[in-house]
């Protein structure tokens, strides 16, 4: 699993974003970004939250919350989950039931 600081550097590079670009978006200096990427300093949780938009990710991905950290990298998936979580319990049950059926269908197609 990649460290918090290395995750930031990796995503920044993947997005072809310079340290200067990221520093500008966070309203900080290039030195702060550089020191973070070299593990000299570690960003606070508040700063980690500010990284979500410019790096198109989530704090969960940056922190490597589980072995499937790629899931946390997808803001589109996270938005859908967030939307579902705000529905009434009964609506959530129907959506998840339908989603389970679609997932099962796709898995069965891949077997045969």
Q: Are 72 and 61 in contact (CB under 8 A)?
A: yes
Provide CATH code, domain 4-73.
Answer: 1.10.260.40
pLDDT in tens, 10-58: 888 989 999 999 999 999 999 999 999 888 988 888 888 899 889 888 7
Domain ranges for the chain, please list them.
Answer: 4-73, 76-111
CA 26 remoteness from chain centre = 17
Strand extents, DSSP E, 8-103: none
Core vs surface per residue 6-32: b (16+ CB within 10 A) or e: ebbbebbeeeebebeebbeeeeeeeeb
pLDDT in tens, 53-101: 898 887 877 877 655 556 666 778 878 888 998 999 999 999 999 999 9
pTM of the shown model: 0.58
Tell me whether residue 3 is exposed, middle or buried, using C-beta atoms within 10 angstroms of its C-beta: 0 to 12, 13 to 18, 19 or more.
Answer: middle
């Amino acid at each position: 699993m990649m460290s918090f600081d290395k995750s930031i550097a990796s995503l920044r590079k993947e997005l072809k974003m310079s340290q200067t670009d990221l520093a500008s978006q966070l309203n900080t200096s290039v030195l702060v970004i550089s020191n973070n990427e070299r593990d000299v300093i570690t960003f606070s949780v508040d700063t980690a939250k500010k990284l979500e938009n410019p790096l198109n990710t989530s704090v969960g991905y940056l922190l490597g919350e589980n072995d499937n950290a790629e899931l946390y990298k997808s803001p589109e998936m996270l938005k859908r989950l967030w939307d579902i979580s705000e529905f009434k319990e009964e609506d959530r049950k129907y959506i998840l039931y339908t989603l389970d059926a679609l997932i099962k269908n796709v898995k069965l197609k891949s077997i045969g």
